Amino acid sequence: MARTLAMFTDVSLCIGCRACQVACKQWNQLAPEEPEWTGSYQNHPHFTDKSFRLVRFFEETDAQGQMKQWHMMSDVCKHCAQAGCLEACPTGAIYRTEYGTVNINQDICNGCRYCVSACPFGVVAFNHDTGTATKCTFCNDRIHNGLGPACAKACPTESIRFGFRDDLAVKAKQRVEELHKLGYKDAQLYGEDKDGPLGGLNAFFLLLGKPSVYGLPEKPKLPQRNVIIDSLLSIGSALLVGLGALMAFRDRNGRGGA
Amino acid sequence: MTANGTIQLLFYLVVLLALAKPLGAYMARVYEGRPFGLDHALGWLERLIYRLAGVRPGEEMGWRTYAIAMLVFNAAGLLVVYGLQRVQGVLPLNPQGFGAVSADSSFNTAASFATNTNWQGYGGESTMSYLTQMVGLTVQNFVSAATGMAVLVALIRGFTRRTAQTIGNFWVDLTRTTLYILLPLSIALALALVSQGVVQTFGAYPKVSVVQPTQYDEPITDKDGKLQYKTGEPMKTFAHLRDDGLTACGNWIYGGIYPEEGKNLALRREKAKGGDYLAHGWGFVWPANRRILYNRASANAAGKPWSEKKKLIWWDAEQKKWVGNDVPDFPGTMAPDAPRQKEGAFKGIGGLDAFIMNPHGKGQLFASIVDGAFPEHYEPFESPTKNLLSKVNNNPVAKVYNIGDLNKLGTPDKYPYVLTTYRLTEHHAAGMSRHVPWLSELFFGHFAEIGSEMAKELGIQNGDMITVETPRARIKVQALVTERIKPFVIDGKKVYQVGIPWHWGYQGVMRSARGDITNDLVASLGDPTTFIQESKALLCNVRKGVA
C-alpha cells in the first residue's frame, strides 16, 4: 500500500467562491441541476449524484443575535478509514484504493443503496440514470496520474490542500496553533485523529468552531454498530412467531405424524 | 419516485391482478390432480421422474414427513450450490478461468439461493462460471421457488382438509410445480427475451475498446520552412503563437513558462549573480520573464544606459539589437534612430518611443479628470441625508442623462431604504454566466439581501417574494434575510440598506438563471470623467409580496 493520500480543508481560508464545486463538475462531467432555495448562498442543499462537492454557508450569531462570523466550508466525501459505505456494500463494488481512498466501481454496483443509508455524512447519492451509487473519488483518474483532485487544484486560497496524510496532519496542527495565537480559541481539527471516530477521516477539516456549527456530527457513528443487537432482535421475533405457529397447530398434533 | 418507476409498479399490479384468476384456476387443477391439458403432453416425463427417483406418487405424507422432506431437499440444494462454487475452477464451462469463490461468499450465496432470497453479494459476470450459474443458481431459482409453492399448497390443504391426516406428497408437489407451472412460464418468458435480442453465449468475454485515440500530427515550421516545433512540443515564447489553429495557449502572458516537458520556470530558485542583478533565474515574471516594463527608458536617445549601476538594456550596434540585463520591452531590432513605423504591430512607434503601449509611445504624468485635482465629498443624487460635510449636496459636473420619466429621482420620504447593487463571485457577468449551467446552478435565483432587523419590521421571512421599487422601475425578487447587513445610523437616524446582485435577466439556460433585471432600478447618472453609472448608492422602497 502506498502512503495514504488525504485532503485537508482549512475553513479559516475558505472564501466561499465555489470554484471547487465548478471544477469538480467540470472534471467529472457532472450535469447541472436546478437549485433549491436554501436560505443562504449554498446550493445545492445536499450532496447529489451530480454534486460531489458542496460549499456550506453558515451565519453564526452570538447570544445577543449579533453577527459573529460568516462560515464557509467546502464539504466532500471523507474517505473514512472505517467507511460505512464500504462495509455495507454487498457486492464489493465499494473498494479501498492503494492510497486509502474509497471508490465505487460503477460496473459492479447493483444499485441496492445500502451505502446511501450507511454513510454518516450523507455523501453517497443514487444516480437514477445509471442505477448506481456515486460519490467523490478524490478524482481517482487524476491522483493516479500525479495531478491531485480538481477541487484542490482550483482552490484559489489553498483552503483545500491535498497530499500525503501524515504531512498534512503536521501542517494542520501547526495551523491550529497559529490560529490559537491569533485569538481563534475555538479553532480545532475534525477527523484528523486516527484514534478518533471512524478511525480518522482522509478528508479532514480545520474548523473555527464546534463541528455542530458546520452541521457535522460531533461523533460520527457507523450504522453497522446496530447489526448485532438488531440481528438478535430479529432472531427473537422469528422464534416467537414460530412458537405462535406451533401453538396454533397444536390441536392437530395427534392427527399428524408419518 | 420517478414517473417511470410509478408506471412500472402500476403495470406490475395490473398484470398481477389480471393473472390471478386464470393462473390460480390452472394451479388449483395442477395440485388437485384434475386434468389441465399439459398433463397429456408431459405426463410421461412426470412418471419417468417418479420412477427414476423412487417416489410413490399415490402415497400422501403427514405434516412432519412433509416438513422433513422439504428441509432435507433444501439442505441438499444448499450443499450442492456451495460445493459447485468452491470447485468451479476445475469444472467445465468456465472459459474465463474463474477460481473458487471464497468460502464465506459461497455459503452466503448458497444459503440465500436455497431460501429463495437470491442475494448476490458479488458481481455475477466476474465471479461465477457458466456452469455454476446454470446448474447452481438457475436450478435453485426454480426449485427453491417450487419449494415455497409446495409448502403453501400443503398449508392450504392443512386448512381445507379439516379432518384428514395427510397434507399431500412433497416430492409430487415439487415436481408438478416445476414441470407444469414454472417451466412453461420460463419458456414463454425466455422466448420473449430472445425476441428482444438478449445476448446469450458460452464463449469467453470479448474485449471491446470504446475510445479510439485521434492524433494530430502536423509539425510547426517557421517562415523559411524550418522545423520549429514537433507536434505536442511546448512553445518557448508567446511570440511563436499563430493564428492558424496549429498552436494553443491558455493565457498568452504565461506563454513559455513551460519551455519544455517537465520544466516549470516558475519553480526556479537561482539567486542574482554577476550582471544579472534582477535574478532572471528566480521564478518567472510575465510576460516573457521581463522584469521591468518599458525598460527602453533606462537608456538614453542613443541607446546607452543612463546609469552604469542601474543599467537594464542597451543598443548593440554591431549585433544590431537590444541586449542587456533584462528582456527588452521594446522591438528587439529597432535601432534608436529608427523612424516611427507606418504599419504593423508597432505602428506609430519609433526608436525613441519607450512607452510602446501608448499610441504615441510617450509616458504621461497626468491623466485628465473633469472634477478637479482635489477630493471633495458629495452625497449621491439619491441619498437618505443632505451633505453633512459641505454645503453642496451633489457633484455639480456629474453626467445626468436627460431622459424624462426613465430617470426620475426619488426622495427619502417615499423611498426610505438605501439600495446598492453588486455582483457575485460565482456569476462573472450576466450575458455570459447565465448561459453556463454550472455557474447558474450555484444560486437559487434572483434575490435581494436584507438585514434581519428590517425584515422583522416589514414582516418578511427568509425566502419570501418581495417587490423592490424605485421611481424608475419595480422588480420582484426573493428575500434573503441575513445578519450580515446592518442598519446605518446617519445623522442620528436609523437607515436600512438593501443589496441586490444584478446578474439576472429574461434569458438564461435554466430557471435559476432567469429573473427580473436589477439595472432597471438604477438611475442614469454618470461620474463626470468616465461616465461610470451610479449603481451603488440609490434609494428604494420594499414591500412584502409581488401583487
Q: What is the pLDDT of residues A31-73, one digit of tens each?
A: 999 999 999 999 999 999 999 999 999 999 888 888 888 999 9
* pLDDT for the residue numbered A165: 95
> Which of A90, A110, A256 faces B64 most closely, judged by CB atoms?
A256
For residues B422 and B420, give the distance between their C-alpha atoms in angstroms, rounded to a whole number. 7
Mean pLDDT score across all residues of chain B: 90
For residues B505 and B431, give the distance between their C-alpha atoms in angstroms, rounded to a whole number. 8
Q: Is the pLDDT of residue B81 over 90?
A: yes
For residues A66 and A60, give the distance between their C-alpha atoms in angstroms, rounded to a whole number. 9
Dihedral angle, C-alpha B296, B298, B302, B307, nearest 10 °:
-160
Do B62 and A18 count as a contact with CB atoms less than 8 A apart? no
Cis check for the bond before B503: say yes or no (omega within 30 of 0): no
Helix B63-87, helix B103-114: angle, nearest 10? 150
Q: Does A12 touch chain B (CB under 8 A)?
A: no
Give the mutation candidate from B442, B446, B504 for the A interface (greatest A CB count, under 10 A): B442
Please provide residue A61's backbone torsions phi and psi, each rounded to the nearest 5 degrees: -115, 155
High-pLDDT (> 70) share of chain A, %: 95
Q: Does B511 touch chain A (CB under 8 A)?
A: yes
Cis check for the bond before B396: say yes or no (omega within 30 of 0): no
High-pLDDT (> 70) share of chain B, %: 98
Domain boundaries along the sequence of chain B: 23-195, 229-289, 296-365, 399-544
Pick from A94-98, A119-123, B151-155, B239-243: least confident: B239-243
Show Cβ contacts of residue B313 under 8 Å, excluding neighbours closer than 6 positions. Answer: B295, B296, B298, B299, B322, B323, B324, B325, B326, B328, B330
* pLDDT for the residue numbered B251: 87
Q: Does A44 touch chain B (CB under 8 A)?
A: yes
Mean pLDDT of B315-323: 94
* pLDDT for the residue numbered A257: 44
* pLDDT for the residue numbered A252: 57
Tell me the per-residue pLDDT of B391-433, one tens digit each, with 9 for 90 and over. 999 999 999 998 888 889 999 999 999 999 999 999 888 888 8
Q: Is the pLDDT of residue B166 over 90?
A: no
* pLDDT for the residue numbered B423: 92
For residues B168 and B154, the answer to whether their CB atoms sit within 8 Å is yes
The minimum CA-CA distance between B141 and chain A, rounded to whole Å, is 19
Is residue A140 classed exposed, middle or buried when 0-12, 13-18 and 19+ CB atoms within 10 A define those classes? Answer: middle
Mean pLDDT of B179-186: 91
Q: DSSP code of B286?
A: T
Q: Is the pLDDT of residue B126 over 90?
A: no
For residues B523 and B537, give the distance between their C-alpha atoms in angstroms, rounded to a whole number. 10
* pLDDT for the residue numbered B221: 83
Q: Is the pLDDT of residue B444 over 50?
A: yes
pLDDT tier for residue B36 given thresholds of 50, 70 and 90 = confident
Do A32 and B510 count as a contact with CB atoms less than 8 A apart? yes
> Which of B63, B438, B445 faces A26 most closely, judged by CB atoms?
B438
* pLDDT for the residue numbered A256: 46
For residues A248 and B272, give the distance between their C-alpha atoms in angstroms, rounded to a whole number. 98
Do A39 and B463 count as a contact with CB atoms less than 8 A apart? yes
Pair type for strands A5-10 and A203-207: parallel
Is residue B144 classed exposed, middle or buried when 0-12, 13-18 and 19+ CB atoms within 10 A define those classes? Answer: buried
Give the mutation candidate from A43, A60, A234, A253 for the B interface (greatest B CB count, under 10 A): A43
For residues B336 and B352, the answer to whether their CB atoms sit within 8 Å is yes
Domain boundaries along the sequence of chain A: 5-221, 225-252
Pair type for strands B399-400 and B488-490: unpaired
For residues B340 and B353, the answer to whether their CB atoms sit within 8 Å is yes
The minimum CA-CA distance between A186 and chain B, rounded to whole Å, is 21
Residue B228, all three cell numbers: 520549429
In the A/B pair of chains, how many CB contacts fall below 8 A?
A: 93
Mean pLDDT score across all residues of chain A: 91
Residue A116, all three cell numbers: 446511501
Give the predicted TM-score (pTM) of the model: 0.64
Do B2 and A37 count as a contact with CB atoms less than 8 A apart? no
Pick from A133-137, B344-348, B512-516: least confident: B344-348
Do A92 and B165 count as a contact with CB atoms less than 8 A apart? no
pLDDT tier for residue A191 given thresholds of 50, 70 and 90 = very high
- Residue A252: name the closest of B63, B71, B157, B153 by CA: B63
DSSP string, A229-242: HHHHHHHHHHHHHH
For residues B279 and B326, give the distance between their C-alpha atoms in angstroms, rounded to a whole number. 9
Q: Is the pLDDT of residue B321 over 70?
A: yes
Beta strand ranges found along B280-424 (DSSP E):
313-316, 321-324, 399-400, 417-422
B110, containing H or E segment:
helix B103-114
High-pLDDT (> 90) share of chain B, %: 61
Residue A104, all three cell numbers: 465505487
Per CATH, domain B399-544 is 2.40.50.100: no
Q: Is the pLDDT of residue B113 over 70?
A: yes
* pLDDT for the residue numbered A258: 40
> How much is the CA Rg of chain B, to the nearest whole Å?
43
Cβ atoms < 10 Å from Cβ of B146: 22
Q: Is the pLDDT of residue A27 over 50?
A: yes
- Residue B383: name the closest of B477, B493, B474 by CA: B493
For residues A31 and A46, give the distance between their C-alpha atoms in angstroms, rounded to a whole number. 15
Mean pLDDT of B22-27: 92
Q: Does A147 touch chain B (CB under 8 A)?
A: no
The minimum CA-CA distance between A95 and chain B, rounded to whole Å, is 13
For residues A58 and A45, give the distance between their C-alpha atoms in angstroms, rounded to a whole number. 12
Beta strand ranges found along A178-232 (DSSP E):
188-190, 203-207
Do B483 and A93 count as a contact with CB atoms less than 8 A apart? no
CATH topology of domain A5-221: Alpha-Beta Plaits (3.30.70)
Please provide residue B368's backbone torsions phi and psi, each rounded to the nearest 5 degrees: -85, 130
CA distances from B441 to A73, A77, A155, A161 (A): 18, 21, 19, 25
For residues A3 and B42, give the distance between their C-alpha atoms in angstroms, rounded to a whole number. 66
For residues A110 and A248, the answer to whether their CB atoms sit within 8 Å is no
Q: Does A25 touch chain B (CB under 8 A)?
A: yes
Do A258 and B64 count as a contact with CB atoms less than 8 A apart? yes
- Residue A215: name the closest of A74, A8, A56, A88 by CA: A56
Pick from A79-83, A138-142, B46-50, B197-201: least confident: B197-201
For residues B313 and B323, give the distance between their C-alpha atoms in angstroms, rounded to a whole number. 5
Question: Looking up cell 446592518, which residue turns up?
Answer: B486
Tell me the per-residue pLDDT of B210-239, one tens digit each, with 9 for 90 and over. 766 666 667 788 888 888 888 888 888 888
